[in-house]
Amino acid sequence: MRIGGKTVMANRKPNVVVFLTDQQRWDTTGVHGNPLDLTPNFDRFATGGTHFYNTFTCQPVCAPARSSLQTGQYATSTGVIANGIPLAEDAVTLAKCFRSAGYQTGYIGKWHLGGAELGLKNWKQEPVTARKRGGYEYWLAADAVEFTSDSYHTLLFDTNDKPVQLPGYRVDAVTDAAIRYIFENRNSSFFLFLSFLEPHHQNHTDNYPAPEGYAERYRGRWIPPDLATLGGTAHQHLGGYLGLVKRLDEAFGRLLDALKSLSLQDDTIVVFTSDHGNHFKTRNREYKRSCHESSIRVPLALCGPHFNGGGRVTQLMSLVDLPPTILDAAGMAVPDLMQGRTAMPLIHGQTIGWPDDVFVQISESQVGRAIRTKRWKYSVSATGVDAYAVPDAGEYTEEFLYDLEADPYELTNLAGLDSHLEVSRQMKNRLLRRIRMHEGKSPAIRDAPVRHELDQRVVFPGDLPG
């Protein structure tokens, strides 16, 4: 049926497209105050749709976060507590839910849930077998794109496990594949999960290879206050990183244009987010594994049915809440085993009962746990355990306490300060409640050594005595 020149499918279920970037800080976007005009497409999208202003990953490591995005469960429930662990074949995933509702399902880009061996010396260009694809039908992906391709050499594997080399810069190549999928499925209801490597670093060069001319635009310009203060590799890498963000936003604009050209924009829920952030080796020896805002805070906005004109939602949102929200918005039942909750009531202004904190699990760099409210950040860490193999610990020690109103970039650690012992006690109780709720455990948390004066230095892990 055609109405006003537009093809309308009667009783059509909304399409869903997830646009997932990798390692993108929230403050790369204009709607979060970045002054460099990196993300005009995302900014317009967020302003016209629903912008979840305070969104956080539930695990600042690639594979664990992605397992949560596919299942709505925390990493300790999916079992993917570190990179290199496959998602269980019987996991209840978004793809399986959408397939059961009659959707075409497709995955394009970086998967990172097939259990591939990772590392500069032992990576292998092998396809993810059908059993390990989380239930997606159409497939054009690789388990670890950072090891199977480069910025101008995109190698993915198709549904039949055949290698496919895509032309163009990698961001553009993956976007082109997504647009082709949308065009080919325009007359069906489809769920497409589009997953980029960018703006993650290219592992074998430890660099952020933006398209030619892009890194030069942003070198020596605005630097987030935490990176300007703490250093790390920001002065070396930030130009390339921001150039990647710019190209991603251009690709996002192209995808939105494709939906509009096919008259699908009113029938499609579009999601833009990232799996975690990036601290540029300021908090530990790598890029993301920490409790800090630079690692855990990410952009998130949705447009389309139910989300157009939703405005800015300021309640705290976790990525573990995204799968149930997507299912609910598409008119589907949310599986009971999902630990996240649908944010659809927030769209309608119903905030009663919504939690006023978010819970974060941390692995690989440490076995850590963190809780964040609108004002406070509290983090604990275990010692003497293998952070790649152990999902949790029986005992943790207080590591960080930050007042985010006074210190939004977390430059002054208040853990152990006698003036803040009551705050620490309250945050400890909040964290323990979350651990009991989501992990079914009741660990002990040792207090940080008491200090009577504020150390004006920036305090890092291991600096505190005891």
Residue extents of the structural domains in the chain: 13-347, 366-446
CA distance 61 to 113: 12
pLDDT for 76 equals 98
pLDDT for 203 equals 85
Plot region of 143 (φ>0 → left; ψ -120 to 50 → alpha; else → beta)? alpha
pLDDT in tens, the chain (466 residues): 333 334 444 457 999 999 999 999 999 999 999 999 999 999 999 999 999 999 999 999 999 999 999 999 999 999 999 999 999 999 999 999 999 999 999 999 999 999 875 554 555 678 999 999 999 999 999 998 888 889 999 999 999 999 999 999 999 999 999 999 999 999 999 999 999 999 999 988 889 999 999 999 999 999 999 999 998 999 999 999 999 999 999 999 999 999 999 999 999 999 999 999 999 999 999 999 999 999 999 999 999 999 999 999 999 999 999 999 999 999 999 999 999 999 999 998 999 999 999 999 999 999 999 999 999 999 999 999 999 999 999 999 999 999 999 999 999 999 999 999 999 999 999 999 999 999 999 999 999 999 987 765 444 444 433 3
Write the CB contacts of 126 (distance below 8 Å, at least 6 apart in sequence): 116, 143
Token digits for 249?
């936003």
Same fold yes or no, 13-347 and 366-446: no
pTM score, two decimals? 0.94
CA distance 380 to 80: 20
CATH of region 366-446: 3.30.1120.10
Write the CB contacts of 174 (distance below 8 Å, at least 6 apart in sequence): 108, 109, 154, 156, 166, 194, 196, 251
pLDDT for 147 equals 83
CATH of region 13-347: 3.40.720.10
CA distance 228 to 95: 41
CB 387 within 8 A of CB 364: yes
pLDDT for 118 equals 58
CB 141 within 8 A of CB 127: no
